[in-house]
Structures are given as C-alpha cells and as structure tokens.
Amino acid sequence: KPHSSDWDRWFVMGLIGIVVGTMGFLMHQIIDTLFELKWELVEIYIQHGDFLTTWMYILGIGLAMVLVASGLVVFLCPSGSPSGLPEVIGYLNGASLRYIFNIRTFFGTFFSCALSVSAGLFCGPEGPMIHVGAVVGCGMSQFKSDTLRISLPFFTRFRNSADKRQFITAGAAAGIASVFRAPVGGLLFALEEVASFWDIKLAWQTFFCCLVAAFTTEVLSSSFGGFHYQGHFGFFKAEQRIIFWVKDLLDMSVLAFIPTIIIGIIGGLLGALFVSLNVRINKVRMKLFNAVKHKFFRQISKLLETLLLLVVTMTVTVFVPYFFSCTQDPEVHTFINSSEHSVSDHIPWDVSEYNCPPATTWVGPDGVINSNYTINQAAALLAQNGKQGIMLLFQRGIHEKFGYPALFTTLVIYFIISCWTAGTAASTGLVVPMLYTGALFGRIVGLTLVSLFGVQNDEYWAWIDPGLFATIGAAAYFAGVSRLTISLTVIMVELTNDVQSIMLIMVAVMVGKTVGDYFNHSLFSSLLNLKCIPYLEALPSVVHGKKKVNLELFSAKDVMKKCEIIHLKENIFSIAQMLNNTTYNGFPVVYSPGPGQEEVFLGSITRLELYMLLSNRQIFQSPETSNTSIPLLKYQQVTVEKVPDEGQMNSLLAKYSTDSQYQQLFINLEPYINKSAVTVQSHFSLHRTYAVFRTLGLRHLIVVDLQNRAVGVITRKDLISLQLEKKLIYLDVGKLDSDEELIK
Amino acid sequence: KPHSSDWDRWFVMGLIGIVVGTMGFLMHQIIDTLFELKWELVEIYIQHGDFLTTWMYILGIGLAMVLVASGLVVFLCPSGSPSGLPEVIGYLNGASLRYIFNIRTFFGTFFSCALSVSAGLFCGPEGPMIHVGAVVGCGMSQFKSDTLRISLPFFTRFRNSADKRQFITAGAAAGIASVFRAPVGGLLFALEEVASFWDIKLAWQTFFCCLVAAFTTEVLSSSFGGFHYQGHFGFFKAEQRIIFWVKDLLDMSVLAFIPTIIIGIIGGLLGALFVSLNVRINKVRMKLFNAVKHKFFRQISKLLETLLLLVVTMTVTVFVPYFFSCTQDPEVHTFINSSEHSVSDHIPWDVSEYNCPPATTWVGPDGVINSNYTINQAAALLAQNGKQGIMLLFQRGIHEKFGYPALFTTLVIYFIISCWTAGTAASTGLVVPMLYTGALFGRIVGLTLVSLFGVQNDEYWAWIDPGLFATIGAAAYFAGVSRLTISLTVIMVELTNDVQSIMLIMVAVMVGKTVGDYFNHSLFSSLLNLKCIPYLEALPSVVHGKKKVNLELFSAKDVMKKCEIIHLKENIFSIAQMLNNTTYNGFPVVYSPGPGQEEVFLGSITRLELYMLLSNRQIFQSPETSNTSIPLLKYQQVTVEKVPDEGQMNSLLAKYSTDSQYQQLFINLEPYINKSAVTVQSHFSLHRTYAVFRTLGLRHLIVVDLQNRAVGVITRKDLISLQLEKKLIYLDVGKLDSDEELIK
C-alpha cells in the first residue's frame, strides 16, 4: 500500500497555498486600486488637454510611490538590490545565499513590487510574487524567524535543508499559480525553471499547494474589487478567472504556421537582444554604483536612478499620446436594445480616451444604438497597466483598432524602458513586459497580413487576425527571453483558454527558444552568472574556442583541490586550527583499520557539525577515557542550519587553537560522521564525476585513490562551467580540441 | 553559448514524430471507417426491430475482426500476450525485456488494436498507440531491424541504450500526443508515467517530437475522412481538433466543489476496485492458461477467450437497448431557416436512433423547423464507439437527455466488461473505457443535482450541468485507476478546452488519487508487479507488518550478493568458466597497485563486453607479450546491445573453458573496463545505496570495503521492494519495527 501518513507535510503545503494565494490577491487589489485612483485623479486635466498638470500630478504620485518602493529595497533587502528569481533558482540549486528568505526581504519585496507596478513603471508583479511565494514556503514550513527571534514548536521535523527546499519550491510555484491564476502552469514553471531537484512526490505536493493558492486567490477575488465587497462570494466568472480569455477560437489553416515561424524568429532575435542589453546595462550599473564608496551615498544613488527612470517613463506615457490623433474604435459599441443590455448614459471614462471628445450615443432607425466612441491608440497602449494592454492586444475581431504608428512607437519605447527597468533598485517583474512586447510585434505581423490580404470573414481565412498573432508573439518573445518551453505553453493556454492555437504557440516557442539559444543563455541564467551565484547546470558544458570540451578526457583529479584530513579520534586543537585556516565546508574523516595499516577514508563531516561538536564540552575526552562513558549528542544538536552565535564560536575557536591543553583533549567523531558519503576515485572521468555530483545534489565530494585514501575534495565552485574552463585550459591543450571518440 | 549542433538528434525526433503522427492518423481512420461500415450494414435490420439478424451480422463481422486481432497478438507478439504500457515503463526503468520493440510486435499491436476497437470491444486505441510510438522511436533511431536483418548505415551513434531510451520516450509521448491530439498532455504523460529518467534536454526534444506528431495527424486528418479526400487540406477546424470540445464555459460557484469532492471519492473507490478486480482477473487468467500445457492449445484457448468476450459484448450491445423506449432528444433540432443552414431531407441515420421511428421535420408558423427526433438512450451510450459516447456525455446544456436507468445500466455493463477486456489476448487500450466509465457516474451525480435543484438557467446556478460533472467524473476515475496528476489535468484541458473548470478537475484528480492510493497501487504499477517486471520506484518503500521500514538502519552489505572477481590481466580459461558458471551481468575488475599489495577494485566490465572480447582472438596474448604490440578493439566492437550469434558464442565458451591451452592465454582488460564505475562501501546505509543506484540509473553496483577491495555486487533485482522485504526479514527483526531516529 503506497499510503503513508504525511499529513503534516500536506497541512503545511495547504497553509503555504492559502498564504501565498492571499498575498497574490492583495497584490492584485493594491495595484488595481492605486492605478485606478491615480488616473481618476487626472481624468479632468487630460480631457481638457492640460498635459502639464497631468504630468505633474502623475509624476508626483509616482515619485512618492517609487521613493517608498525603492527605499524598501535599498534599505531593507540584502545587499541593497532586489532579489528575485535568480536568487531562488540559485538557492534551490544548492548555492548558499543568506538573508534572501527572511521577513524583511518578504515585506520589502511585496510592497516594493506593488508600489512599482502601481506607479506605472514598465513591470509586472510576477517575478517578485515568485520570491514572495518562496519566502512564504520557507517561513511557513520552518515556523521560526531569526530576524524576529521566534521559533514556534511546530513541525520541527521540517527544519532541515532538504525539506525546506521542497517547501520553497512549492511556495514559488504557488506564487505564479496565484498571480496568473494558472495552477498547472505555475507548477510546471517551478519544475522547469526554478527547481533543480524534484521527484514525483514533490510534484504531487506542489500540485496541491498550487491548487490551494489559486483557489484562495479566486475566492477572495470573486468577492472583492478594489477592496470593496461586491457580493459575489465564491462565484468565479470565466471572464475574470481566465485573465486573457480568448472567446472566439479560430479554425486554423496550415498556412498560419508561416507567419508563426517568422514571429518565432523575431521573438528569438528580440529576446536575445533583450538579454544581452539587459546584462550590459546591469554590468554598467554595477560598475557605477560600486564606484560610489560610501554605503549611504551608494544607496541614495540607487534610489535616484529609480526616480530618474520613473520621470522618463511618466514623461513618455503622458506626452507621447499627444502626437496621436483620436481614431474611431472599431469595436462593436452597438447593442440590440434589449432589457438585459441597458446602455447606461455615462460610460466610465477610460485612460484610452485621453483627450478625445466624449462619446455620444444615439438610437438608429433600426432600433440599434450607435456611438461615436473614439480612442487615442497610443494612450490605450502606453498609459494602461501592462495587463490591460495585453488584453487589448490579444483581442480578436478588431483587426485594425491599432495602426502601425501606435504599435511601433509603443514597441520601441516599451522594449528600451523595460530593459532599463529590469535590475533597478525596485522589485520589478519581467513577465508582463515580456508578454506585452511580444504581443506588440506579434500584432504588427498580424496587421501586415491584414494589410496584404484584407480583413477576411471567410471561415478559411478567419485566422488572419492580429489578435491571434499577438498571442503567438507574446509566447515567442517570452520564449526568446526565458527559454522556457513546456510551462510557457501551458501558461499561455491557461491564460487564454485557446487550446486550438496550441500548436502555433508551440512552434513559436520552439523557434523563439532555438533562435535565442543561438546567441546567448536565458535571462535567468545570465543573471545567475552576473550575480556570481554558483549554479550547476544539469549537464556540464565547457567551451574552449568555439568547441565543446569532451569532459570524458579529463578526470576527477584535474579539478580536485587538496583537502585537509581529520582523524576519527582527533584532538580539539587540530580541529580548531584547521577550521581557522581553511574555508572548506566538508572534511574527510579517516582512520586506520588495523595497527600499522594506512589510514583510509571512512566518512565525511561538515564544518557546521564540527562547530556544533566543539561547542559541547561534555563530549571532549582525554586519551585514556573509554568511548562508552562519553555522552552522545542528539541529531538535532549537531545538524543545524547555521551557527547560533558566530562571535562566540570565533572566540571559542581562538581559545582552542592557541591553548595547548586542547592538544590533549579529543573528540570521537564516529557517531557524528556521514558514513554514506559518496566518493569518486581520482581517475574517474570528469564527466561522470560531474554527473554524480549534480545528480546526487552534493555540496562536496571526496576524491579517493585506489587504496581508498582521501586525496582531494571537489566542491560546487570547482564544477561551475567558468571555473572548469579556467582549470582545464592549464592542462593539456591537445585534449581541449580533441574530438576523437574514446573507449569509455 | 548553449548552442550545440545536435541536428541529427532533432532530425530523428522529427522523423519519429512524422511516423507516429501518421500511425495515429491511420489508426483513427481505420477505426472510424470500419465502425461506421459495420453499423451502416445493419441499419435496415435495426430500424425494423429485427435484432436477431442484427446481432448475427454484427457478431459475425466482429468475430472475424477479433479473430485476426487476437491471432496477431497470440502468434506474433512475444510470449503471446499483448505488450503495452507496463512493458514500455519497465524497459525505460532499466529492465531488460526482449522482443518488445521488434517489427512483429509493431504490426501485431497496431492492427490488433485497430481491429479490436472496430469490432466493438470496450477499449480504446491509446495504450497500444503508446507502445506503437515507442517501437517507432526505437526503430527510427536505430535504423536497423534484427527481425528483418537490415542495418542501415545511418545515425549509428544512437545505437546505445541511453540514446535508444530517449527516443523510445519521445515516441511514446508522440503516440499519446497524436491519438489525443494533445501535444503537451502527451509529453507530460510520458514524463510523469512512462519515463523513469529524463532531463530538461530530453523534455525539450520530446516537445518537438510531440509537436510534429500532432501536426502530422492534424494535417492528414484535415484532408481525409474515412480515407476519402475531403478537400480541406491543412484546414484545422476547432470542432475536429479538440476532441471533446466544450463550447460553453460555465461560470462557477464555489459550491461546485462539493459534488466535485463526492465525485472524486467515487472515482477513487471505483478506480481502486477496478485495479483490484483487473489484477485478480488477470491472475485467474494466467493460472488457467498456464494449466494448458501444450503451447498451441494454450494459444487457441487465449483466442477463444477473446471470442467469448466479443460474443458477450455484442449481445449486450445489441439487446440491452431493447429494454429501453425511445425518448425525445432535447437537443435543439430547430434551425432558423437561412441559406447557410439548409436542412437536408435525410438526416444520416445514427446508431442512437436504434429502432425508433424515423424523424420527420416540419416548418412551423414562425419559420422555424421542428423535428420529432427520438433516440434510444441505451443504444446511444452502448452501441457508439467510446469516443462518441464520451462526447455525448460531456455535452452541456442537455441536462436530461440521459436518464438514470440508461446511465446506471451502461455504467455497470461497461465497468464489468472493460475490466474483463483489459488483459485479454488482444491489444486494447484502457483510456477510453476509463474516461467513459468516469463520465457515466459523473453524469449520474450531475443528474442527481438536477433532480434536486431543477434545470437552472440563472447564471449563478448554471454550473449544475450534468455535462460538466461528466468531465469531472472522467478525470476522477482516470485518476483513481492511473494515479496520474499533472499530465491528466493537462490532457483533460487539451481534450475539452475548458480552462475554466481546471480547478474542479484538479480537485477531482487529487481526491481520486488519494482515495485510490489508500487501497492499492496504480494499475500500471500493479501490472508491472503481476508481469514480474523488475521496476525500481524513485523512492524505496519496504513495508513490514503495516509499518514502513527505515532503510537507514540497514546497510549495503545486507542486500549484496557475493561477486566473482576478474583480474586486470586474466586468462581466457577463467573468464570463460566464470561466464558459464554465473548469471551476473557485471563483474568487478581488480588489480594490485604494487608488488605484494592487496588487489583493489579498479573498474567494472559487463558480460556482453567480455563476450565480445572473447570472440576477438587477435587480442589474446601470452604472459610474455608486451601490452603495446596487441591491437586495440574499437568502442563499437566492444559495446554492443546483444550478442550477434548466441549459439556460436556458447560453443566458443565451451571450448575456452575446457581446453587447458587457454589457461596460458590472457586478455589485458585495461582499455575496456569502465573505470568510472561508482562504488559504495559495505557500511553505506541501504537508503543511500538505493538512492545512488536509482538516481544514477545503474544496472549493477559494486560494493567495496574500506580498503577498496570488491566484496559484493548489488543488482536491480536485489533492490525491488519485494526482494528487499524478503531479505531484510531474515535480518534483525528489531530494526524492522524500529521507529527511532538515528544519527545518520
């Protein structure tokens, strides 16, 4: 029977889902409310064409928001920069990153993100929500906070790094599930991009977590709009739930694959360009800020950059539409006059109307209501928040609502500014800008088709609809930047409910990713590099010149470092000295199986475990004490996640490593070492070594010789592609260029 | 740059996609054509109520089909039983199964499946299509066939088991993608259930393969219906493409989760019952057939069982509707009389009309055409093929088309007969019966709600629609039988295009799986057990009494077997003797690093590699020959997948192991051994050993002691749960019951 009562794990998963779902709901509500308030305030000025006042108002409000948003990040988050997806990915890969899951980061990220989006920066809430979800996953499962100095006595069995990682994965998945209302897409995103290690059991628990998160967001959103109770508790309208719902599925011709491939190529090219530009901008930014020596001034200059960004964004948003005239909205604003669709006299004002004359409606002779509703195309595209913009672009049946000038202008502006925005000192997400930019050029391609072939109403040609190609463009560009495949396809289907176009989306994603991969790595991977987070790819890829290096030709000893050795019964003095003199985190423990025999490798012990052992004096023994009289420490006392008090530890080490009395005191390490530590022999091929290290998710790997004597250690950092390249270049250059196939 | 030119791999993936897509298309066409022909033939008899003639015709045709279908399996397929999903799953897990991917199995499975479904057995083409896809994946990538004795000189670099497994995974995924027209669902199904090992690169290539397969099926299906060209080449109608397209998305109330949970529970219970019944039936079947000693008679009795099954199925199909009267079809058969929708005088006859009076149409005073179309509910549900039945049940807005009697009767009949069908000597798929049975009881629950609350037209209550609950029921029962999660959800969405109900489906799947897991393992897993295929779960689960055994308390030496040792320079005589006397497939090679030192483990070599070495006389050497003068064999000569000529090999071995001259001839094994063979030490915890074995996908694992001397070997079979249980029970019983936590 496969049944096992893991109820506490499921309970925590559910809890994470509920909390993340609530956070996602709050995020949406805050953004919608603030965004609407802001534009309502200036409605009157825009309508009268008073753009300067509009600009001042919008900018003023925006500056206040961004000041807080950026301040939260600069002063509250670790190292003064917004941490997001790359950090979470790196952590789940096994890198040790500190402070990214504490409660200050949580609040900093959440509010910074909500305010940045509300202020009108070209960004979305997705990336930060993943991080918020991950923090919730970490916090809810651990039931303690070092920052707040609380530690509740619940679920202590999850206080180990393996379980923690699982809950963080689930939380991150729930973050996307909640913000996109795409439970399966979120799950797959987490599995494809965020998590490095997972199994079917984790997938299954994450599935539950995502479901709960999406459900919570749904239930709350169904009842509230802008924090007002609307009286529809628990009623999920398809209209609301499926964010970019496409109502008209189009019968498709095989010819549609031709523009799709073109869009895929453009998406890949633009995506690669975005990645390379963004990395360059971030490099310049880092250099500039690091040039500012004083910490406080550095923080201030980061703040100022964000403010400058807002000024530029707002100026563009308000003044660019000025150069566009009002155009008739081709959307059907004529209703059959029935009791159900009563036309209210006052249609609520929308930003897209800009300074166009207010619409009037009249009843035609055939009982049909007409309207001369006009919009400013550029205002519709620029001043809306990204989500509404995407909805407009995805809409079908409105072939020529947006013309080339508006689409092109917005595309250029959005591409450049969103590229600048990603990486500023405010918590900003990239998904909405990606979808939006993609939808823009997708619609341009679609519009070109319409220009060539006209608006088609024949069922065989109905697929020539810019709305369809906007969706495809969004997928292609998203793929070009993020290089996601399966999860992206599922997310697009969940967002649009358009299974009919799934093959077009898949082709666009394939082409976009392939073209992008030709030029550079994905954005997340590039950012991991840039941020110097040691990330181990699933497969090693070392490039020399333009060729891939065959790692089968190298062996484990080519990359290993010399290691320090501890004896099974070691004196305190040596241990303390070794800990002081090295930075390794794992040490091989050796012993001699018989008198006169050589010392062989028995198991490994970590730095933290040694710290914890050293801080328990009662287990020290003099040479003559028998092992049995020494008390044993409990598992929880030895295996911790960090040193409780670092200062005290250091002074303890200093004492042990100077006072010679500790040369006569020993610890018997036997009960505490990990005897199941996997080793490789020094002649192991490097490829295989990498596979063992990565597949088993190790942090350090002891290298032994044929007699099982510990001769070296390999750590994560030794296996990062860049490090490998450096090390191997020193070795035989002939091998690096070799292509020959070789016997194992 | 992540770019690497794997063009040949992609090419083969594309090729697999095209072939599998074509096979899927052919499968559908054959089934649709034959099924339609069959019922057209008896139309006239049914209409006149002549059921005996109908029965004789239908049965006669069916018997002919099933005779071929079953004959193909009994005489063509390995071991005379249809191989399907369990075999593919087992093979990809690492088990060695012979003949399952040869060309006879391919044709046998394909035509057997097409004919079984056409004959009217309660089964679908999905499972066999997965197998057909896997065979295509194997054949297309290897470009050789042992049965046909061809070996084309293409893509020889894929002739190794790792690459072969990848292509088989892709082929299996393409099989589902093609048959369900669900490219992403197929991919996820393969990853979740079929493949034991995969990485992001394989997922990405499988994605492409599935896309090509789905595209090929689409393009071909768009042009042909029943093998007639229809003139719509490359025009994909949403209606056709999305198999069970749900056109009306329903706004959902949170109350809908209550019946969903009930359906989930029923689905889980019925699913578990199905699994347990099916396993029992299969056990009885195996016992009965094994009692027949003579091979030919055994084959005949298998054939007879299938024929008997058909007689029962057909009798039920034809005669059960007799007890039901004709009912008005509530579906709207009234069209506004426009030029587009001209009503043909003769609506094509459908099986569901059974012996009901032919419909007449008349134009009402308001210009609306009315019709008194009636159907026989039971005929509609039983006599259609499963796919059309599911479509009927999923349909929304026809609340009371099917009443309790018809639904209940069909449910009972279908459940019992499909349980019998699965496992007979014909290639039958289970997915359609699962969806169908689930849809039946889902609709019953929905109908109960309608009975309680009436047909609701109010938007807040519109979700009370039996069609919606049929979909949920199908998902729940599918989950209850197969225990799939993510892929099932995605498949349901791809089949119905109903993202709006995704959360309900997820809840049903969750509940169904959880309830099912409480009682037994999934169907595939149970069949793996029944068929004695050594399958290694991702996590070991050994149960003693009712408790899970903590494998941390046992060590590698508790399960290892004694192993034979080969020296680095070994004489032919000993090698041949050892090969004759043991059945192991992997051997440790040892050597002494210095004079007088003990022999340590250096690497491993497989039985097949030894066979190949022994069949190359030129590498034998006498003790005094220097190593340098001996020719080296190429990698391809040594690493093969099976012995070219087994008989010759055996006589060679016999010669070597008897003639004493071979005691003086040696092979230097050094160039041929796998020096990167992972070892574990004998004190390693069993849990960790299992993890290393399973994660690295090993076939045998050498156990060494502290001095690196080979002391034992662990093979797949030693780690199967059942074997582990047996072995561990002999050991300390105290540990088996122990719950204590322990320091590493």
Task: Grade residue A331 by pLDDT with cuts at 50, 70 and 90.
Answer: low
- Nearest chain A CA: its distance from B626 CA (Å): 20
Short-list B129, B181, B137, CA closest to B163? B137
According to the model, what pLDDT value does residue B310 have?
Answer: 93
Task: Grade residue B83 by pLDDT with cuts at 50, 70 and 90.
Answer: low
Task: Grade residue B740 by pLDDT with cuts at 50, 70 and 90.
Answer: very low
Assess contact for B401 and B329: CB atoms under 8 A: yes
- Mean pLDDT calculated for residue range B104-123: 89
According to the model, what pLDDT value does residue A330 have?
Answer: 61
Average pLDDT, chain A: 83
Which among A486, A499, A688 has the least Cβ separation from residue B493? A499
CA distance B587 to B604: 6
Question: Do residues B481 and B577 both lie within one domain?
Answer: no
Place of tokens 């059960």: B320
Q: Tell me what percent of the residues of chain B surpass a pLDDT of 90.
A: 26
Which among A237, A500, A538 has the least Cβ separation from residue B251? A237
Any CB–CB contact under 8 A between A684 and chain B?
Answer: yes
Question: What would the pLDDT profile of A164-223 be if each residue is shown by its tens digit?
Answer: 889 999 999 999 999 888 899 999 998 888 888 888 888 889 999 999 999 999 888 888
Question: What would the pLDDT profile of A630-645 be if each residue is shown by its tens digit?
Answer: 777 777 777 777 777 7
CATH code of the domain containing A655: 3.10.580.10
Pick B200 or B208 by higher pLDDT: B208
Short-list A179, A144, A184, A182, CA closest to A164? A144
Short-list B138, B177, B160, CA closest to B23? B177
User: Please, is A348 exposed, middle or buried when counting C-beta atoms within 10 Å of its C-beta (0-12, 13-18, 19+)?
Assistant: exposed
Residue B362 phi, psi dihedral angles, 5° rounding: -145, 155
ipTM above 0.90, yes or no: no
CA distance A669 to A568: 5
Binary contact (A254, B237; C-beta < 8 A): no
Given B470, B497, B530, the domain boundary residue is: B530
Place of tokens 């707040």: A148
Q: Report the number of secondary-structure helices (H) and strands (E) in chain A.
A: 27, 20
CA distance B206 to B190: 9
Task: Grade residue B743 by pLDDT with cuts at 50, 70 and 90.
Answer: very low
- Mean pLDDT calculated for residue range B571-588: 85
Domain-located, residue A573: yes
Helix-strand-coil percent breakdown of chain B, rounded to 5? 60, 10, 30
Binary contact (B235, A254; C-beta < 8 A): yes
CA distance B352 to B384: 7
Which among B2, B242, B674 has the least Cβ separation from residue A517? B2
Identify all chain B residues contacting A707, using CB atoms and an 8 Å cutoff: 593, 597, 600, 707-708
Question: Do residues B580 and B436 both lie within one domain?
Answer: no
Residue from A246, A251, A693 to probe the interface with B (highest B Cβ count within 10 Å): A251
Helix-strand-coil percent breakdown of chain A, rounded to 5? 60, 10, 30
Assess contact for B63 and B423: CB atoms under 8 A: no
Domain-located, residue A618: yes
Task: Grade residue B627 by pLDDT with cuts at 50, 70 and 90.
Answer: low
Which among A253, A485, A695 has the least Cβ separation from residue B696? A695
- Nearest chain A CA: its distance from B73 CA (Å): 33
Question: Do residues B446 and B498 both lie within one domain?
Answer: yes
DSSP annotation string for A617-628: GGG-B-TTS-GG
Tell whether the torsion through CA atoms of A334, A337, A340 and A345 is positive or negative: positive
Any CB–CB contact under 8 A between A521 and chain B?
Answer: yes
Any CB–CB contact under 8 A between B674 and chain A?
Answer: yes
Domain-located, residue B642: yes
Binary contact (B254, A235; C-beta < 8 A): yes
Domain-located, residue A653: yes
Q: Which residues lie below 8 Å from residue A366, measured CB to CB, with a gap of 6+? A: none
pLDDT reading at A580 higher than 80: yes
Place of tokens 């709350």: A220
Domain-located, residue B545: no
Residue from B236, B525, B722 to probe the interface with A (highest A Cβ count within 10 Å): B236
- Nearest chain A CA: its distance from B179 CA (Å): 15
- Nearest chain A CA: its distance from B256 CA (Å): 10
Residue B236 bridge partners (DSSP): A252
- Nearest chain B CA: its distance from A658 CA (Å): 31
Assess contact for B575 and B544: CB atoms under 8 A: no
Pick A189 or B95 by higher pLDDT: A189
pLDDT reading at A77 higher than 80: no
Given B530, B562, B582, the domain boundary residue is: B530
Any CB–CB contact under 8 A between A637 and chain B?
Answer: no
Tell whether the torsion through CA atoms of A622, A625, A628 and A631 is positive or negative: negative
Residue A606 bridge partners (DSSP): A586
Question: What would the pLDDT profile of A534-544 be if each residue is shown by its tens digit?
Answer: 888 877 777 77
Question: Do residues B390 and B289 both lie within one domain?
Answer: yes
pLDDT reading at B713 higher than 60: yes
pLDDT reading at B250 higher than 60: yes
pLDDT reading at B146 higher than 70: no
- Nearest chain A CA: its distance from B313 CA (Å): 33
Instruction: Name the closest residue on chain A to residue B177, using Cα atoms.
Output: A503
User: In this structure, what token pair is assigned to residue A81?
Assistant: 């920069």
According to the model, what pLDDT value does residue B331 have?
Answer: 57
Least confident of A288-292, B4-8, B536-540, B560-564: B4-8
State how far Cα B683 lies from the chain centre: 38
Assess contact for B274 and B419: CB atoms under 8 A: yes
Binary contact (A188, B486; C-beta < 8 A): yes
Assess contact for A605 and A675: CB atoms under 8 A: no
Task: Grade residue A348 by pLDDT with cuts at 50, 70 and 90.
Answer: low
Task: Grade residue A3 by pLDDT with cuts at 50, 70 and 90.
Answer: very low
pLDDT reading at A343 higher than 60: no
Short-list A516, A508, A518, CA closest to A262? A508
Short-list B101, B102, B214, B110, CA closest to B165? B101
Any CB–CB contact under 8 A between A4 and chain B?
Answer: yes
Question: What would the pLDDT profile of B353-369 be if each residue is shown by its tens digit?
Answer: 777 777 776 666 666 66
Give me the half-sphere count of Cα atoms (radius 13 Å) on the Cβ side of residue A314: 28
pLDDT reading at A742 higher than 50: no
According to the model, what pLDDT value does residue B343 have?
Answer: 43
Average pLDDT, chain B: 83
Any CB–CB contact under 8 A between A502 and chain B?
Answer: yes
Question: Do residues B363 and B397 both lie within one domain?
Answer: yes
Question: Do residues B574 and B523 both lie within one domain?
Answer: no
Short-list B504, B502, B503, B476, CA closest to B268? B476
Task: Grade residue A281 by pLDDT with cuts at 50, 70 and 90.
Answer: very high
The amino acid sitting at B84 is: G
Question: What would the pLDDT profile of A691-735 be if each residue is shown by its tens digit?
Answer: 888 888 888 889 988 888 888 889 888 888 777 877 777 776 555
Assess contact for B29 and B226: CB atoms under 8 A: yes
**By three-state DSSP, how is residue B229 classified?**
strand
Structural domains of chain A, count: 1
Binary contact (A252, B236; C-beta < 8 A): yes
Domain-located, residue B743: no
The listed range with the strongest mean pLDDT (A214-228, A579-593, B164-178) is B164-178
CA distance B682 to B688: 12
Question: Do residues B590 and B722 both lie within one domain?
Answer: yes
Residue B508 phi, psi dihedral angles, 5° rounding: -60, -45
Least confident of A140-154, A606-620, B334-348: B334-348
User: Please, is A646 exposed, middle or buried when counting C-beta atoms within 10 Å of its C-beta (0-12, 13-18, 19+)?
Assistant: exposed
User: In this structure, what token pair is assigned to residue B257?
Assistant: 């989760």
The amino acid sitting at A596 is: G
A/B interface, count of CB pairs below 8 Å:
255
Identify all chain B residues contacting A243, using CB atoms and an 8 Å cutoff: none
Q: Tell me what percent of the residues of chain A surpass a pLDDT of 70.
A: 90
The amino acid sitting at A144 is: K
Question: What would the pLDDT profile of B17-55 be if each residue is shown by its tens digit?
Answer: 999 999 999 998 999 888 888 888 888 888 787 888 888
Any CB–CB contact under 8 A between B391 and chain A?
Answer: no
Question: Do residues B474 and B599 both lie within one domain?
Answer: no
Q: Quote the crossing angle between the two packed helices B161-180 and B85-93, to the nearest 10°.
A: 150
Assess contact for A570 and A713: CB atoms under 8 A: no
**By three-state DSSP, how is residue B61 classified?**
helix
Residue B131 phi, psi dihedral angles, 5° rounding: -65, -45
Binary contact (B541, A2; C-beta < 8 A): yes
Any CB–CB contact under 8 A between B162 and chain A?
Answer: no
Place of tokens 């071995």: B653
According to the model, what pLDDT value does residue B741 have?
Answer: 38
- Mean pLDDT calculated for residue range A576-595: 84
Any CB–CB contact under 8 A between B404 and chain A?
Answer: no
According to the model, what pLDDT value does residue B341 have?
Answer: 43
Question: Do residues B480 and B623 both lie within one domain?
Answer: no
Q: Which residues lie below 8 Å from residue A526, measured CB to CB, with a gap of 6+? A: A275, A278, A279, A520
Short-list A262, B351, B409, A163, CA closest to B417? B409
- Mean pLDDT calculated for residue range B514-524: 91
Please report, in angstroms and rounded to a whole number, the separation of the first and last CA atoms in chain A: 42
Task: Grade residue B499 by pLDDT with cuts at 50, 70 and 90.
Answer: confident
Residue B493 structural domain:
254-302+323-338+345-530
Any CB–CB contact under 8 A between B706 and chain A?
Answer: yes
Task: Grade residue B378 by pLDDT with cuts at 50, 70 and 90.
Answer: confident
Any CB–CB contact under 8 A between A251 and chain B?
Answer: yes
Task: Grade residue A736 by pLDDT with cuts at 50, 70 and 90.
Answer: low
Any CB–CB contact under 8 A between A602 and chain B?
Answer: yes
- Nearest chain B CA: its distance from A242 CA (Å): 7
Any CB–CB contact under 8 A between B710 and chain A?
Answer: no
Pick B459 or B491 by higher pLDDT: B491
The continuous run of DSSP H or E covering A732 comes out as none
Q: Tell me what percent of the residues of chain A surpass a pLDDT of 90.
A: 26
Question: Do residues B459 and B584 both lie within one domain?
Answer: no
Identify all chain B residues contacting A250, using CB atoms and an 8 Å cutoff: 238
Question: Do residues B453 and B572 both lie within one domain?
Answer: no
Domain-located, residue A287: no
Binary contact (B236, A214; C-beta < 8 A): no
Question: What would the pLDDT profile of A22-36 be if each residue is shown by its tens digit?
Answer: 999 999 899 988 888
Identify all chain B residues contacting A741, using CB atoms and an 8 Å cutoff: 635
User: Please, is B615 exposed, middle or buried when counting C-beta atoms within 10 Å of its C-beta (0-12, 13-18, 19+)?
Assistant: middle
CATH code of the domain containing B350: 1.10.3080.10
State how far Cα A529 lies from the chain centre: 14
User: In this structure, what token pair is assigned to residue A68?
Assistant: 């807080």
Domain-located, residue A635: yes
Please report, in angstroms and rounded to a whole number, the separation of the first and last CA atoms in chain B: 42
According to the model, what pLDDT value does residue B555 have?
Answer: 85
Short-list B211, B223, B220, CA closest to B17? B211
DSSP annotation string for B689-704: HHHHHHHTT-SEEEEE
User: Please, is B149 exposed, middle or buried when counting C-beta atoms within 10 Å of its C-beta (0-12, 13-18, 19+)?
Assistant: exposed
DSSP A190: I
Task: Grade residue A530 by pLDDT with cuts at 50, 70 and 90.
Answer: confident
Give me the half-sphere count of Cα atoms (radius 13 Å) on the Cβ side of residue B171: 33
Question: Do residues B511 and B580 both lie within one domain?
Answer: no
Identify all chain A residues contacting B234, using CB atoms and an 8 Å cutoff: 253-255
According to the model, what pLDDT value does residue B734 have?
Answer: 56
